[in-house]
Structure 1
Amino acid sequence: MAKLSPCFLLCCFLFIHIPTFTQSRQPSYAEQQETDRVTNLPGQPPLKFRHYAGYVKLRPQDSKALFYWFFEAQDGVSNKPLVLWLNGGPGCSSVAYGAAQELGPFLIRSNGTRLTFNKFSWNKVANILFLEAPVGVGFSYTNNSQDLHKLGDQVTAADSYTFLINWFKRFPNFKSHDFYIAGESYAGHYVPQLAQLIYDKNQGSSPDSYINFKGFMIGNAAINEPTDTLGLFDYAWSHAIISDQLYDKINKECDFKQTNNLTVQCADHMKGFMDAYANIDMYSIYTPVCIKALGTRRTFPKLPVAPRLLSQHGIWHMLPRGYDPCTEEYVEKYFNREDVQSALHANLTKLSYPYTTCSGEIQGWNDSPDSVLPIIQKLLNAGLRIWIYSGDTDGRVPVTSTRYSIKKMGLKVKEEWRAWFHQGQVGGWVEVYEGGLTFATVRGAGHQVPVFAPRQSLSLFTHFLSANTLPSSRF
């Protein structure tokens, strides 16, 4: 039998193995980005910047994938910082609220068919990344239903950190950018906890896992349960929402330091407190409610968004969340459209439940510390930039609560309380503390400051990023 030539053997080897090499090649980061690029979003207005959406799987050994929506800055992409925005809840979507109703470039303002360009979008001054976390929120999912029983602050921070590490592998061109985190409400827990995890992991980390983290900003944020609760009642009384008699009874019968031990008398007063807010929007006390939604208002999962003194009352979860319930209906209608989901590369696994602004799938919340003040103090000592802001017409985490909580830290005042200005008008008031903390109010804004004061919120955000003091004069 004739011998096969070496050339023939080599050709056979290449013929057999070349397809294997081709099949195993991993897509480049540019190809992965292009796969996630959003190009045909229904109702999208004309634009000159790119945006991306899709899933980032967390770990090979688990079944979790978190959904993101990322908007490049409107200009100067390579020179502007990267900011992660988180909404609270826990269990509410940063896409449905932050991106679509507050500070993203496209706002849903009608019946779910058309998007409105936001002239005061925060991507005018930064690259903005919105994340739906934890799993069970929005389009983020897990294939293991047991994961939904194991959620809490620690899991959310760990999963969000893993998301960032993997996201930077897909978008390495943003890895050298200054990185900040911002958020509101229960993100008063999410943001400092994630910030601490990033800071701790950065110590001695490899270049591959290092995040160029510079600081964070949180608004109307739950940060210290006892003072948050005390300020809640003081605000309601000082704004003529509850009577002198009820206010005196609450202060006499309720122990703000032992919020898990609710007496019968205190429970009765809590119901009276909730009744006082039943016909207005606690999250923006001077704005009208959506009349057409009053007869169809839904109940929400009993998650620890409520102060512990109030969480035993089902009426808490009947109150408006501060986001216009009319707009919320439009948002859910829009994100449940199949053409929208296809354009955003979302719901690839065909979830068994509809998209909702706040999750109905999360089965409890396992850990939620009373206070994150020690974390804030630790990160101030580390030299990170930290700003806390407060819309002053929010009754849920009111300005009184935030002032009491900051006072609890015992910081020395560097620049005393004064007005700050935007376009010739008072935008709010500000105080700066030794060690790097800035506290600012936004005049006339409710719980979701960018909704109620878009111009002032963009100005506040811009000054935070540049580390410049807020304007002290009218002109």
Structure 2
Amino acid sequence: MWGKKKKWESVENMGSSLFSIWLSLVIVLHLLFSTSSSSSTTTTLDQERDKINELPGQPTNIGFNQYSGYITVNQKAGRALFYWLVELDSSQSSTTTTPPLVLWLNGGPGCSSVGYGAAEEIGPFRIHPDGKTLFVNPYSWNKVANVLFLDSPAGVGFSYSNTTSDLYTSGDQRTAEDAYTFLLNWLERFPQYKHRDFYITGESYAGHYVPQLSQIVYERNKGIQNPILNFKGFMVGNAVIDDFHDYVGTFEYWWTMGLISDATYQNLNIHCDLEVAEHPSDECNKAFDIAELEQGNIDPYSIFTPTCDATVSTRRNLRSLRIRNLLRSRHLRLSLNYDPCTEKHSTVYFNLPEVQKALHANVTGVSYPWETCSDIITDHWNDSPRSMLPIYQELIAAGLRIWVFSGDTDSVVPVTATRYSLDALNLSTLIKWYPWYDNGKVGGWSQVYNGLTFVAVKGAGHEVPLHRPQQALTMFKSFLENKPMPHLRAI
């Protein structure tokens, strides 16, 4: 009897233990479900809060969603970066694959990706001269991808910092780190973009931003089987790459295009070749002074097109640091029908209170106006490495997709500067220099290297998608498809 009773007690205790385990599992699952549900609800609410219902003056019946707002990248300093996401235009896209996420960065340093990239280059809308209404850009890059514009670093465009000293201590390294933190935090708000093919693009001084951010993403993805930032490669246009070769190519372009005298060409090569582009010597600055006078009242970002007379004097005064004009992305150019005052229209539009409200921007209510570029950021830029070539070499060896493009009428970071910089990589050629075609006409020229593709765009200035929007979209499609530029003339 004792033995049977002991056995029964043992069975009873076992049942009690199993019940306790079951109850614990139920509680844990409930907590997990509740936490997940709560997190999912928070994410949904955050996205909904950032959704743009309609921009003032926006055309009706668009086939895509837009979101904009702030992502904090440094809680202690109060640094928050402003973004604008334009999702794939499903009404015109025929793709059956999952569309990638593409980040666009403008340079300067100190210029707004919203003011340039989104408003006058690859975004879905352009701004009418009234500064109040928008019209559709038929060559927007959201025809084939989800495009994310980022104002970077803090202090640029709508991005801000609660620590004033941040505006005077910006540089390449912090900009790259903050952009990486932004991406990670942004993906928590938009988890549907985790693990999706991801590319980084940009122009001008983003020739630093893009490869530097690419390097961080690549190196921190090492050893991760399925990274949330599924980084595939980068593309940059009229990009600052290597100070020495950029200078050599820029001065040569000025001279061969007849913009400067023989004497000035010689002085520039003597006093500037070995300079750090962001911090030139007094002698180099003097040579730039003379070059400016000799070039006259032209638009250096597009040497064959008219300037916007209403802003010429202001623009020339802001070029007092000379090199600022060589590197920054502040420009006055043409739109689809050639309007050299697009920057002026952007300045009007993004200062409208109703526009800022629709964009969920300027939440701190600053008293000063929105500007396309921040002079404070530009004038106090700190670290700026001489060359991006070591990063190119690392990422080429890693097998990432790398494209570099150049508008051939830009005298700020001209095609010759880019070609000298790329030649310094000593890459072998896979496809020799050839003309590429768009709608039966030569769109430019291209050369495919082992690990990098170079594309020249005929007749385009510093902002290639602004001057040649159709050709730029053709190029972007080729980049995403990882195919060379079309080399056969359509019959």
Quote how far apart the aligned CAs of 1:257 are.
2.2
Partner amino acid, structure 1, of 2:78: S
Quote how far apart the aligned CAs of 1:297 are.
3.8
Alignment correspondent of 1:12: none
Among all aligned residue pairs of Structure 1 and Structure 2, give the percentage whose two residues are the same amino acid: 50
Quote how far apart the aligned CAs of 1:249 are.
4.3
Are the counterparts in 1 of residues 247 and 272 from structure 2 also a CA contact under 8 Å? Answer: no
Query: 1:62 & 1:218 partners in 2: Cα distance?
Result: 30
Quote how far apart the aligned CAs of 1:321 are.
3.0
Partner amino acid, structure 1, of 2:299: D
Alignment correspondent of 1:41: 55
Are the counterparts in 1 of residues 51 and 67 from structure 2 also a CA contact under 8 Å? Answer: yes
Alignment correspondent of 1:135: 154
Are the counterparts in 1 of residues 437 and 488 from structure 2 also a CA contact under 8 Å? Answer: yes
Partner amino acid, structure 1, of 2:348: K
Give per-residue Cα distances to partners, 1:295-321, cap 9 Å, x unaligned.
Answer: 4447448789638xx89xxxxx9x973
Which of 232, 238, 247 is matched with 1:214 structurally?
232
Which of 137, 143, 166 is matched with 1:118 structurally?
137
Quote how far apart the aligned CAs of 1:59 are.
3.6
Alignment correspondent of 1:471: 486
Query: 1:411 & 1:346 partners in 2: Cα distance?
Result: 44
Query: 2:44 & 2:317 partners in 1: Cα distance?
Result: 44
Query: 1:215 & 1:255 partners in 2: Cα distance?
Result: 33
Are the counterparts in 2 of residues 413 and 431 from structure 1 also a CA contact under 8 Å? Answer: yes
Which of 390, 409, 412 is matched with 1:374 structurally?
390
Q: Say if 2:100 is the partner of 1:85.
A: no
Matches within 5 A, 1:317-356: 321-323=331-333, 326-356=341-371
Query: 2:320 & 2:170 partners in 1: Cα distance?
Result: 14
Which ranges of structure 1 fall in alignment gaps of 5 or more residues?
Answer: 1-20, 312-316
Quote how far apart the aligned CAs of 1:271 are.
2.1
Are the counterparts in 2 of residues 322 and 446 from structure 1 also a CA contact under 8 Å? Answer: no
Are the counterparts in 2 of residues 303 and 365 from structure 1 also a CA contact under 8 Å? Answer: no
Which of 263, 273, 276 is matched with 1:256 structurally?
273
Query: 1:267 & 1:154 partners in 2: Cα distance?
Result: 26
Query: 1:294 & 1:381 partners in 2: Cα distance?
Result: 45
Alignment correspondent of 1:191: 210
Worse-matched range after superposition: 459-468 or 57-66? 57-66
* Count of residues in correspondence between the two structures: 442
Give per-residue Cα distances to partners, 1:40-98, cap 9 Å, x unaligned.
Answer: 21001120110101111124333111100000010269711110000000000000000
Give per-residue Cα distances to partners, 1:246-292, cap 9 Å, x unaligned.
Answer: 324444x335124567475x654432212122310111000011123
Quote how far apart the aligned CAs of 1:361 are.
4.0
Secondary structure of the corresponding residue to residue 176 of structure 1: coil
Partner amino acid, structure 1, of 2:413: V
Query: 2:286 & 2:118 partners in 1: Cα distance?
Result: 39
Which of 30, 33, 41 is matched with 2:44 structurally?
30
Are the counterparts in 2 of residues 390 and 442 from structure 1 also a CA contact under 8 Å? Answer: yes
Query: 1:295 & 1:101 partners in 2: Cα distance?
Result: 22
Quote how far apart the aligned CAs of 1:141 are.
0.7
Query: 1:160 & 1:305 partners in 2: Cα distance?
Result: 25
Query: 2:68 & 2:441 partners in 1: Cα distance?
Result: 38
Scaled by the length of structure 1, the TM-score of the pair is 0.87
Give the structure with higher Rg (CA): 2
CA RMSD across the alignment? 2.5
Which of 178, 181, 206 is matched with 2:200 structurally?
181
Alignment correspondent of 1:364: 380
CA shift in 2, pair 1:106/1:306, >3 Å: same
Q: Say if 2:131 is the partner of 1:96.
A: no
Q: Say if 2:409 is the partner of 1:393.
A: yes
Secondary structure of the corresponding residue to residue 355 of structure 2: helix
Worse-matched range after superposition: 27-36 or 91-100? 27-36
Are the counterparts in 2 of residues 68 and 130 from structure 1 also a CA contact under 8 Å? Answer: yes
Secondary structure of the corresponding residue to residue 99 of structure 1: helix
Query: 2:77 & 2:286 partners in 1: Cα distance?
Result: 45
Query: 1:345 & 1:255 partners in 2: Cα distance?
Result: 44
Which of 218, 222, 233 is matched with 1:203 structurally?
222
Give per-residue Cα distances to partners, 1:218-272, cap 9 Å, x unaligned.
Answer: 0000000011011111001111112234324444x335124567475x6544322
Q: Say if 2:454 is the partner of 1:454.
A: no
Are the counterparts in 1 of residues 195 and 228 from structure 2 also a CA contact under 8 Å? Answer: no
Are the counterparts in 2 of residues 303 and 364 from structure 1 also a CA contact under 8 Å? Answer: no
Secondary structure of the corresponding residue to residue 324 of structure 2: coil
Are the counterparts in 2 of residues 90 and 305 from structure 1 also a CA contact under 8 Å? Answer: no
Matches within 5 A, 1:219-368: 219-251=237-269, 253-254=270-271, 256-258=273-275, 262=281, 264=283, 268-297=286-315, 299-300=317-318, 306=324, 321-323=331-333, 326-362=341-377, 364-368=380-384
Quote how far apart the aligned CAs of 1:330 are.
1.3
Query: 1:360 & 1:133 partners in 2: Cα distance?
Result: 14
Partner amino acid, structure 2, of 1:340: V
Which of 151, 154, 159 is matched with 2:173 structurally?
154
Which of 417, 424, 429 is matched with 1:413 structurally?
429
CA shift in 2, pair 1:301/1:160, >3 Å: farther
Secondary structure of the corresponding residue to residue 368 of structure 2: coil
Partner amino acid, structure 2, of 1:355: W
CA shift in 2, pair 1:160/1:206, >3 Å: farther
CA shift in 2, pair 1:132/1:175, >3 Å: same
Alignment correspondent of 1:15: none
CA shift in 2, pair 1:206/1:152, >3 Å: farther
Partner amino acid, structure 1, of 2:57: G
Which of 63, 66, 79 is matched with 1:51 structurally?
66
Quote how far apart the aligned CAs of 1:109 are.
3.0
Give per-residue Cα distances to partners, 1:383-419, cap 9 Å, x unaligned.
Answer: 1000000000000100000010011111111111110
Are the counterparts in 2 of residues 29 and 170 from structure 1 also a CA contact under 8 Å? Answer: yes
Secondary structure of the corresponding residue to residue 167 of structure 2: helix
Query: 2:228 & 2:307 partners in 1: Cα distance?
Result: 45
Partner amino acid, structure 1, of 2:394: K
Are the counterparts in 2 of residues 41 and 343 from structure 1 also a CA contact under 8 Å? Answer: yes
Give per-residue Cα distances to partners, 1:85-118, cap 9 Å, x unaligned.
Answer: 0000000000000000111001113221110100
Q: Say if 2:402 is the partner of 1:383.
A: no
